[in-house]
Every structure is written in structure tokens, then in C-alpha cells.
Amino acid sequence: MNYSELTNKTTNNFANSMGNGHSTDKSTYKSTGELNNKPANESTGRDKVDALIAKQASIAEKNNHIEPALYGKHNVKIGLRNSDGTGVLVGLTRIGDVFAYVMKNNTKIPMEGKLICRGIDISEMVQGFQKEKRFGFEECSYLLLFGELPNKRELEEFEQMLAENRELPEGFARDLILKAPSRNIMNKLARCVLAAYSYDENPDDTSIPNVIRQSIKLIAQFPTIAAYGYQALAHYYKGQSLYTHKPQPHLSTAENILHMIRPDCKYTRIEAEVLDLALVLHAEHGGGNNSTFTIHVVSSTGTDTYSAIAAGLGSLKGPKHGGANIKVMMMMDDVKENVKDWEDEEEIEKYLEKIIRKEAFDKSGLIYGMGHAVYTLSDPRAVMLKKKAGELAREKGFYNEFQLFERVEKLSPKVFCKVKNINKPMCANVDFYSGFVYKMLNIPVELYTPIFAIARISGWCAHRIEELVDGSKIIRPAYMNVEVPRGYVPMNERE
């Protein structure tokens, strides 16, 4: 089943099920496509405009190209990366950290990866709440926001605050989501976050108590906005009946997501546990990742919480950041279609060679989900999610496919070494298994990146608070102008 079929199958399953909640027949509204249709006689004018824009785009591309050699000449850290691939040090944080190697005699020595949140190894936290048979995302959010683990009473109070804020303001869902659907739920999230500014009686106050209040509200409401955004998308763009379910105050974040996106509101305990784990593993990843750094940069201007979080959403939407698990699923669909025997490692290896040689799949030469900018021997998030993915695969009847993922993970480093003649550590990152987990949970692909945002909002808010507490200056790096000086040319002398 390819990516498009996966999307359609998920939506059809959604439509063919009956559920509790409110239903609106599609005939009640005109589709967005009907509203935007243009008369046929306007097509010629559009063609002329398109041709003009294409010409202008070519000029813009030519005049914005910078010779690569100039970056080396001026010692520019492209992508804020050092020559050894590490990030340029631009700040200090107490929130999160990633350990993937040790430096010895100016040489990187690979090590098993560790993700640290507020000084605590995330694997220890996961073991802790899973051993006690609790959901962990709320505890993780508390730790990120306040810097300390909550006791039982503090966690219950925090969970109660989230529960009280999960529902959207009166008319918000109707006016901002259902009446204005979007094909991309990340855009819908960003629009709703900016709109939330108007529903806040004190939106511009950047005092820490007020920002914490805003943070709790956003953490609570992100799942509701995303769920309703998907229901609107399925209704307007896929012709399905519209179902909306209110969030339930007694449910965890993971449980509420499954409750709100499924027509019958039903889910199993292991389904909720796996999604909860995915949320915990995506909540924080240090201050240098693109979206979190964006939060720091925008917060350093003194702007409001809603503007800062909307900027983070814009960053995460980018396919180089938040959409990697979708590319993994597309690639694996391609592998499944072209590898006849999923247990034949030799056949799998040969097809991976074709992918790396740019002869198969999208011809990018990339095996998506393999390798990481920081992690070397292992990504701890992938290790933990893989374990739960295996349990879920057995329950859901996907174990053969899970084993194919394992074989691709196992063979990819060997194939890269063989084809590229590069002998460096390569591990599966969290994106390699997260999309597969969401597929088994019957979560629509349109929600993959929004779920990332639902998790990362806790980390973003924590980093915003840190920037407001300790950031003394607006973040302003330098760009060197390398354009050749020239004089102004009068209109009648131009070509």
C-alpha cells in the first residue's frame, strides 16, 4: 500500500465507522473547491501571469545565488554547523541535552545515545512511569516547564489544570476550524494559535506567571485543535461525514487524542501507552533543533507567547524538520512493493543499494529515518519506541512488516558503507519507527507532524520561559554582504 492509499484507507475507515458525538452531513456546506472555482475564460489570464512569474523567478534565483567557495573563504558556519557536523554553540540551557559521542584528542568517539531532560535520562523516566503503569506525558511536561519532578499532589493539580483547559472557547471551533478548513493541519494549528491571542485578556504580558498560564492552556488545547482540524479536513476535502468529540477531563493527553480522532472513541490500553510514549520522546530535544531555536530567537524580541509558538509551528512544518516520518513511510511502501520476499536480506540489500545509488524511490540517495545529525551508535528515542512498536505489531497483526523495518535498519549501515565507501556509525532515528507506530494506531498521515507539535509544545514553552528569564539580548547573528557594488541606472538607460 503506497502513501496515497494509506491516506485514503485511513480516511475511508474513519468514514465507514459510526461514532458518538456530533455529525454534520456534507451537503450542509459547499466545498472549498466549489467556492474557489474560477470561470474558464480566466484561464488565459492566469497562464500569462504564471509565465511572467516563472520569468521573474528565474531572475530571482540567478541574483540570489552565492558561490559556495565564499562560505569557506569567510569561515561561514553553514546551517550553524561546525566542520565536524556539530552545532555552533550559541547559548546555554538547563532544559534538555543530547549525548551521542565523547571528544578525545579532538576526535569524536561514538557512544550509545542519551536524551536528558532537566538532568534526568529520559529512559529512566520512561521506565519509571511505565513500571507504575501511569501515562507519562503530563509528568514530562511538568518537569520541562518547572524543572522539577512533581509529587503525587502536584501532578494531580497539573493534570486538573490541563483538563480544565482542553475545551476550546465558545465558537472557536466553529468559526476558526470548521468554517475555515485547511489541507494542512500544521497551518491550521498556527492560525488557531495566533487567533488565541484575541481570546486572551492579557496576551502581551511576558511575566513568568502569565506565560505559564498561557503555556498550560496551549499544551491542553493543541490536541483538540489538531483533532478538530483533521475532522474538518476529512469533511471538506475528502467528502466524509463530520464528527467531533469533546475532550474528556478524566483522560490523559494520549487517550484524548485517540478519543477525539476516532469515530467510535474507542482505543486499547496498549494503543494509548504507545502514543503516550511517542509524546514523551518528542517533547524535548535540546535548544539547538530548528523549531526550539526559533522559539528562542522570536522570544528574545519580547513578543507574545502566541506569536512565538506560531513561529515554532512554522519551523516544525518544514519537511526537513517535522515531516521525516512521512518520508520514511513513503519509502517503506516503495520497498514493500519492490521487494518480493521480505525475509530475504540479500534482496532487501540489493534494493537499498538502488535507493542509495539514486536509482529507486525518489532518487534522492537517502534512506529516510537512518542517521542523525547528533546521534551516532543509537538514538534512545528510536530504541524505546521500537520496543513498544514490536509489542503493538504483534497485537495488531503487523509483525511481518515490523520485521521488515528491523531488517532495513540492520542492513542500511552496511549498504551505505559498501556504496558510499563511508565507514561511520549510522543508527535509526526516532522517525524511522514513529510513522509505523502511527500507522498501526490508524492515525491519519495528516496528523503525523501535528502529533510532533502536540508533544513538542511542552519543550517549546519551557525554552520560551528560559529565554524570558535569562535572555538579556535580542538574538542577532551577522550576515556578510558579498554583492558587488554598482551604481543606480536611470530608467531610460536600462535594457
Residues classed as catalytic: 372, 431
Q: What is the DSSP string of 396-412?
A: HT-HHHHHHHHHHHHHH
Q: Which residue has the cell 541606472?
A: 489
Report how far apart, in Å, the C-alpha atoms of 215 and of each of 150, 189, 218, 371, 478 are.
Answer: 17, 15, 5, 33, 31
C-alpha–C-alpha distance, residues 101 and 103, integer Å: 7
C-alpha–C-alpha distance, residues 452 and 282, integer Å: 6
Count of helices and strands (H, E) across the chain: 20, 5
Grid coordinates representing 186? 500544521
C-alpha–C-alpha distance, residues 432 and 427, integer Å: 10
| CB-count burial class (<10 Å; 0-12, 13-18, 19+) for 433 | buried
CA–chain centroid gap for 281, Å, is 12
Report how far apart, in Å, the C-alpha atoms of 441 and of each of 276, 387, 433, 448 are.
Answer: 12, 15, 12, 11
C-alpha–C-alpha distance, residues 346 and 352, integer Å: 10
C-alpha–C-alpha distance, residues 227 and 142, integer Å: 23
120, 97 Cβ separation under 8 angstroms: no
Question: Which is nearest to 286 in space by CA: 351, 163, 410, 381?
Answer: 381
Helix (H) or strand (E) holding 108, with range, is strand 107-117
Report how far apart, in Å, the C-alpha atoms of 351 and of each of 338, 355, 405, 415, 433 are.
Answer: 8, 6, 14, 10, 20
Question: Which is nearest to 432 in space by CA: 418, 413, 414, 417?
Answer: 413
Within 13 Å, how many C-alpha atoms sit on residue 325's CB side? 27
C-alpha–C-alpha distance, residues 242 and 267, integer Å: 20
480, 74 Cβ separation under 8 angstroms: yes
Q: How many CB atoms lie within 10 A of CB 459?
A: 27
239, 464 Cβ separation under 8 angstroms: no
C-alpha–C-alpha distance, residues 438 and 325, integer Å: 10
C-alpha–C-alpha distance, residues 352 and 244, integer Å: 42
